[in-house]
Structure 1
């Protein structure tokens, strides 16, 4: 049974929890710790509380829409790559991380059934108990094939999918101020009723040198890299496809990108202040795909490819899928590939265990050379 937490009580309870963490740490915590509590504190963090998150419009009480909620054609196209990967790796299980509303799982299972892959099992690894309840409702028709886990097993085989998972992993903030590097963290504000930024000098640096002497704010991604390394260690046979918004490091740490990429989402509006309305809105950061790819490669995975979401979905047959839809349905699916929508900002990186193979999603327009 899940205890309902009202929006009015969320900030107070979460504020007290973060305050205790700050006090125990001597008055300052890194932003990664703050972000972890804001998003994942049991029952209170954004992804752990009962507030609505996914949906098309603010009127639904949601904060943002992801590709699977936008159109089922996303899952239909992705299923072609998943099916190919299952065959190439000789496995029969799909693993999804951070399954959200369960929409992608429903789409993949339905599409795989249509491809004659009714034997495929589905396992969801999700930290959110409240989202798990929603996923179970969405997947009621596939109940016998779906299993939920709270953490990665020691050993696993199959095809891993993760849509907008890496961007929600806590990041450390690095600020170059007056030519010196600092880690930007969080303290109590002067009034004692909220949060403020505070910098501490650090030996941490971005993975590449940022030219110039101007003030510069950016992120590093140890948790995302650790996740990929752990996945590489546990995945004994199979492949993985991670979809998210981000850049290769040459673009990520460009001298002109001096304001960082941390962003919040609430009511389908974006803002850049993660220290306000804590627990009531999403906090994300763009993904450094070079760092993610190297983490997988260093841990023994083969990089199957890297490309834009648009090119990946087109390679997987999205246009053919769109031809079967209505004009309105095709219009929604077009948002997946339009450059000014999701098509270019979102990227896909693929990994395989053992010898690499030619994955269909990267057949045309592979950008691995840019990593």
Structure 2
């Protein structure tokens, strides 16, 4: 059994501060809050939430590793997929990254676009965390030449003026505050968080009309209704979120990379407790109520719901495949070969090969992560030439 190191004194103090704030908030709200609100505060409370505070999140020293953190190959393949879109928009296209992580993708992608001979007019990062903004800006300043760095801007909200270009989100939807539901005998219940002593506990209340309708819509697409006692997650707000982040987009594409399942697999009868979990120090933590502010809380993505949200926003469904197939269809072999040819020694060769393995092997990110794309007013189907899985939605 793997033992996760206990938080140090400073981390404990940080978590205790957020815990006290959560308890006060719950008391002010009548003694209970929806789990989705608890998750939102744990992740995004200003200065204290997991993504809002200063602790390192990404990479070997953090709690998890994302594909862009492994090296430049992911960004190079993404540039191969989206550079043709920028060319179709004839130098009027902008790029919008939702959640900028450590800034690795922005740095590598701008360099990859320059190598492709096409640059977005602006590269915008929609990042709610002030701490992460500072880290991203520092990385951009330290790595990129001025003519590339000056194209990168940070947004407080979605683009408000009509625009054209590319929206990309990597491991963003899994971090949206999710509603937890439970199937009762005759109705749908929603999970809430209350305080008992000094501990957080989960209770249930009858779900509101929006959540009930979302769950019943899920059941209508399954082979049979969900069994009594079945627990899982749903994002009733997903269609509104998609429309909000794209803003008044006139033409372009949306690309989402994340872990998850098509609806029938997500709500399989055997998955009786959903997909909710937390990550701390590269380990899965089942107790999502523990150590608020110190662990990432996440739920897998219902890709069928994402397909519905994207097309509902007026976009054409472009494709759905595993991350491995998306990267292979967009030049991974070519970029890996170029990277190896530039290696100075065998250690560098091994690093490139390890990057490819982690991006593509089924036991790593290759199949656990999927990519879904949408287009509006441009051609984008060529980015999804391998491994089409749209039949599973």
TM-score of the aligned structures, taking structure 1 as reference length:
0.92
Deviation by residue 1:174-216 (Cα, 9 ceiling, x = unmatched): 1125675311110002x2x120010112252523225463521
Q: Map of 1:219-230 to 2, 5 A cutoff?
A: 219-230=233-244
Query: What is the aligned partner in structure 2 of residue 263 from structure 1?
Result: 277
Aligned to 1:26, what secondary structure does the other structure show? coil
Q: Does 1:171 align with 2:178?
A: yes
Deviation at 1:24, TM superposition (A): 2.5
Aligned partners of 2:239 and 2:312 also within 8 Å: no
Q: Map of 1:77-96 to 2, 5 A cutoff?
A: 77-90=77-90, 91-96=92-97
Q: Does 1:110 align with 2:133?
A: no
Aligned mates of 2:274, 2:184 — CA distance in 1: 14
In the alignment, structure 2 segments of 5+ residues that lack a partner are 1-8, 341-348
- Against the structure 1 CA distance between its residues 119 and 292, is the aligned structure 2 distance closer, same or farther, given a 3 Å change threshold? closer
Aligned mates of 1:119, 1:50 — CA distance in 2: 30
Aligned partners of 1:89 and 1:239 also within 8 Å: no
Query: What is the aligned partner in structure 2 of residue 151 from structure 1?
Result: 157
Aligned to 2:364, what secondary structure does the other structure show? helix
Q: Does 1:196 align with 2:197?
A: no
Aligned partners of 2:158 and 2:246 also within 8 Å: no
Deviation by residue 1:65-123 (Cα, 9 ceiling, x = unmatched): 00011222111111101212212344332111101000011110111111112464211
Query: What is the aligned partner in structure 1 of residue 50 from structure 2?
Result: 46
Aligned mates of 2:192, 2:361 — CA distance in 1: 37
Q: Does 1:304 align with 2:325?
A: no
- Against the structure 1 CA distance between its residues 161 and 213, is the aligned structure 2 distance closer, same or farther, given a 3 Å change threshold? closer
Aligned partners of 2:183 and 2:226 also within 8 Å: no
Aligned mates of 1:327, 1:360 — CA distance in 2: 31
Query: What is the aligned partner in structure 2 of residue 370 from structure 1?
Result: 392
Aligned partners of 1:70 and 1:333 also within 8 Å: no
Aligned partners of 1:309 and 1:348 also within 8 Å: yes
Aligned mates of 1:365, 1:247 — CA distance in 2: 15
Aligned mates of 1:42, 1:336 — CA distance in 2: 33
Aligned partners of 2:68 and 2:104 also within 8 Å: yes
Aligned mates of 2:58, 2:43 — CA distance in 1: 15
Aligned partners of 2:192 and 2:204 also within 8 Å: yes
Q: CA RMSD in A?
A: 1.9
Aligned mates of 2:265, 2:106 — CA distance in 1: 32
Aligned to 1:8, what secondary structure does the other structure show? helix
Q: Does 1:353 align with 2:376?
A: yes
Deviation at 1:252, TM superposition (A): 1.0
In the alignment, structure 1 segments of 5+ residues that lack a partner are none
Aligned mates of 1:119, 1:181 — CA distance in 2: 46
